[in-house]
Chain A
Amino acid sequence: DAKTTQPPSMDCAEGRAANLPCNHSTISGNEYVYWYRQIHSQGPQYIIHGLKNNETNEMASLIITEDRKSSTLILPHATLRDTAVYYCIVRVARGDDKIIFGKGTRLHILP
C-alpha cells in the first residue's frame, strides 16, 4: 500500500503558486520523499525529491517538515500545462526499488 496521503483534487489559478500537501507519517529514516506527475495519457515525470532539507529545482520546490511526517510541493507560477495528477511517494533512493503509486492529487489550473 502507498505510504502517503494526498488530497484527491485541488484547483489553482494560473500564475499563482500551487501548494500540494502530502502526509507521510510512517516514513523511515532512509526513505526519501519523491514527487512525480502524470499529464493525461503520458508516463509519469519526475519532479523533485528530498530527504530532510528543502529542495528547489527548475520545476518546483519541496518543503519537508522538521519531523519529516509531511511535505509540500510548490509550483511557483502555475501554468495550464501544469494540469496533471501529482504523486507523492516515499521510497529509498535506489533505482531498482519498486515504486508503489497512491491515488495522487489531481491538480486543475484555472485560466
Chain B
Amino acid sequence: GAVVSQHPSWVICKSGTSVKIECRSLDFQATTMFWYRQFPKQSLMLMATSNEGSKATYEQGVEKDKFLINHASLTLSTLTVTSAHPEDSSFYICSATGYDEQFFGPGTRLTVL
C-alpha cells in the first residue's frame, strides 16, 4: 500500500528557532500534499495545500510567512515553522495524494519551550 512518512516524529525546540518537518511519499509520486495541525483534543485543521513546483495555497488565518511550505519534488514536501513560539506547539500531519486517494503520514509532535 501507499506509505507516507514524516521526519522527525517529534521535536523539541527553543522559542525563536525554526523547525523543518519533512513529508515523504515512499512508494508513489504525489503532485499534491496537504499539511494539517492538530491541538490536543481537537480535530485536524487544514493549514495549506502544497503542489509540486508551485506556491502553496494557505487556508484562511494561516500565516504563510510563519509556516513556509516547499514542495520541491514529487515525493517530498517540507513545512518550516519559523521563529517558533510555545503557541505553535502542536501535532503536525501531512497527507499525500496518490492513486486518486489521500494517504496520511504518522504526524510530527512539535514542542516549543
Interface residues, chain A, with chain B CB atoms under 8 Å away: 36, 38, 41-46, 85, 87, 93-96, 98-104
Contacts and interface: CB of A to CB of B under 8 A. Distances in A.
B25 to A, nearest CB: 11
A104 B100 CA distance: 24
B13 interface: no
Given A95-B98, A99-B34, A99-B95, A45 B43 contact: no
Dominant secondary structure of chain B at its interface with chain A: strand
Contact of A93 (B45, B46, B91, B100): B100
Given A43-B106, A98-B49, A99-B34, 17 more contacts: A41-B91, A41-B107, A43-B4, A43-B93, A44-B104, A45-B104, A46-B101, A46-B103, A46-B104, A95-B98, A95-B102, A96-B31, A96-B97, A98-B34, A99-B102, A101-B36, A102-B43
Interface in B30-67: 31-32, 34, 36, 43-46, 49
Interface of B: 4, 6, 31-32, 34, 36, 43-46, 49, 91, 93, 95, 97-107, 109
